Amino acid sequence: MLIRPPPEIPSSEITDPQVYAGRRDFVRTLALGLGAASLGLAHGAETRSGSSRFEGLLTSPFSTRDDKLTPYQSMTTYGNFYEFGPDKDSPAKNAHRLRTQPWMLTVDGEVKTAKTFAIEDILKWAPLEERIYRMRCVEGWSAVVPWAGFSFSELLKRVEPTGNARFVEFWSLADPEQMPYVRIPLLDWPYVEALRLDEARHPLTLLALGMYGEVMPKQNGAPLRLIVPWKYGFKGAKSIVRIRFVEKQPQTAWMKAGPDEYGFYSNVNPDVPHRRWSQANERRLGEFLKRKTLPFNGYADQVAGLYAGMDLRKNF
């Protein structure tokens, strides 16, 4: 893949962190939504509920403008969340077990002071944006999803990484009581993913708390997950309980499981096939025909400069 340094993102495209009216009511709505979601359902996927809707989401300039949204039903009934099972419908069947309150996020490692945040406090960090992102999974399917969240940089405002911090780990919950397949060595639990610090700082990197204008469904990674739209979907850790800043490039869950199939960078690259299938084409959920896969999932203008001079076949 030929890498050309992209133009800088103009300041006009960076969301103004303004505080909008009715903020207290907004946060109260989110807390109520999380509380309702924590009850779960007796069977099957979570359905849409008015009590879990966000209010006053900001429209993000980073949203894609020319793609049809993937149906909500498709996104909530088909996906990967191996803590709840290996099949695409396993998360929708089993994630009702997940308890999302109380929920704490620990930030540690190469930081001046380790901190722990309650999910209610995280919800107050910034007005949430709705960002419509293209998503691409390594198995050949893709989606266009309106996520609700805020840039990872909002976390950096509240912790002070040391000069040794070069990478960021994202740890998912691994509780066999709530997540039955954690008892089975499908992967080396807990699920850990990681980014280079400059990748995490990039304005496109999102900490998401919801989708389709609503609180995140449990089967999609409630209450907090990572979205990195130019990388394959498995880079987006779900149900995050720990964020750790480290000096050396870490081994992630899928690197341990298949180092010749799942590299650290995992940038969407149609020219680098998976060992068992091509990555040149993809099929959107809810559609029949395939389409060509775009380099960096269509975000090359924004992110290619992060990898200038790198061999993206070797660093896959």
> pLDDT digits over 74-126, tens only?
999 999 999 999 999 999 999 999 999 999 999 999 999 999 999 999 999 98
255 found inside a domain: yes
Beta bridge partners of 109: 245
The average confidence (pLDDT) of the chain is 87
Domain annotation covers residue 264: yes
In the chain, % helix, strand, coil (3-state, to 5) comes to 25, 25, 50
- The mean per-residue pLDDT over the stretch 154-158 comes to 96
Does residue 140 form part of some domain? yes
Grade residue 55 by pLDDT with cuts at 50, 70 and 90.
confident
**pLDDT over threshold 90, residue 13:** no
The DSSP bridge pattern shows strands 225-227 and 214-215 to be: unpaired
Q: What is the pLDDT of residue 45?
A: 52
What is the layout of strands, in order, in the sheet containing 167-172?
115-118, 104-109, 240-246, 167-172, 192-196
- 2 within a domain of the structure (yes/no): no
Higher pLDDT among residues 18 and 308, named by residue: 308
Tell whether 5 is covered by a domain. no
pLDDT of 184 > 60? The answer is yes
**Half-sphere exposure at residue 195, Cβ-oriented, CA atoms within 13 angstroms:** 26
The residue-averaged pLDDT of 53-80 equals 94
| 3 located within any domain | no
Identify whether 6 is part of a domain.
no
Q: Are 80 and 30 in contact (CB under 8 A)?
A: no
DSSP assigned state of 135: E
**Residue, of 121 and 37, whose pLDDT is higher:** 121
3-state SS string over 181-202?
HHHCCCCCCCCEEEEEHHHHHC
Q: How many degrees, rounded to 5, is the angle at CA 132 between CA 281 and CA 237?
A: 75
Q: What is the mean pLDDT of residues 276-290?
A: 94
Q: At residue 292, what are phi and psi to the nearest 5 degrees? A: -70, 140
pTM of the entire predicted model: 0.85
* 214 lies in some domain: yes
Upstream peptide bond of 223 is cis (omega within 30 degrees of 0): yes
Alpha-helical runs (H) found in 99-222: 119-122, 153-156, 197-201
pLDDT digits (tens, 9 = 90+) for 161-182: 999 999 999 999 999 999 999 9
Q: Enumerate the H helices of the chain as residue ranges.
A: 23-39, 72-77, 90-94, 119-122, 153-156, 197-201, 253-257, 300-303
Helix (H/G/I), strand (E/B), else coil: 170:
strand
**CATH classification at residue 91:** 3.90.420.10
Tokens 């849409």 sit on residue: 48
- Residue linked to tokens 């989606």: 143
pLDDT at 76: 97
Residue 47: its pLDDT value, please? Answer: 53
DSSP strand pairing (281-284 vs 141-151): parallel
List the one residue out of 95, 119, 118 whose CA is nearest residue 40. Answer: 95
Give the span between the Cα atoms of 182 and 198, in whole angstroms. Answer: 31
- The helix or strand, by DSSP H or E, that contains position 255, with its residue range, turns out to be helix 253-257
The total number of structural domains that make up the chain: 1
Boundaries of domain holding 262 = 11-307
Provide the pLDDT for residue 52: 83
Provide the pLDDT confidence category of residue 38 given band limits of 50, 70 and 90. very low
Q: What is the pLDDT of residues 203-256, one digit of tens each?
A: 999 999 999 999 999 999 999 999 999 999 999 999 999 999 999 999 999 999
Q: Terminus-to-terminus CA distance in the chain, angstroms? A: 11
